[in-house]
Amino acid sequence: MSSPQPNIPLDLRPDHPDPARPSRKTLRWETLVSAGIIGVGLILAVGAIDIPSEAGYGGVGANFLPWVVAIALMVCGAILLWHARTGGYREMEEVPGDEDPDWMAFAWVSAGLLLNAALIETIGFVLSCTLAYVLAAQGLRRTFNKPHDTWLVDIASGLVIAAPVFWLFTKFLAINLPGLTSSGWI
In tens, the pLDDT along 126-154 reads 999 999 999 999 998 888 878 778 899 99
Kindly state whether residue 66 falls inside one of the protein's structural domains.
yes
pLDDT value of residue 16: 45
Confidence of residue 11 (pLDDT cuts 50, 70, 90): very low
Are 119 and 64 contained in the same domain? no
Kindly state whether residue 19 falls inside one of the protein's structural domains.
no
Q: Considering the entire predicted model, what is its pTM?
A: 0.54
Are 115 and 147 contained in the same domain? yes
Looking at the 3D structure of the chain, how many domains does it have?
2
Kindly state whether residue 42 falls inside one of the protein's structural domains.
yes
Range of the domain at 47: 24-85
Higher local confidence (pLDDT), 21 or 145: 145
Kindly state whether residue 64 falls inside one of the protein's structural domains.
yes
Are 36 and 75 contained in the same domain? yes
Domain boundary among 85, 118, 134: 85
Are 113 and 164 contained in the same domain? yes
Go through the chain and tell me how many residues it has: 186
pLDDT averaged over every residue in the chain: 80
Higher local confidence (pLDDT), 98 or 68: 68
Q: Work out the average pLDDT over 15-43.
A: 78
In tens, the pLDDT along 149-183 reads 889 999 999 999 999 988 888 877 777 777 766 65
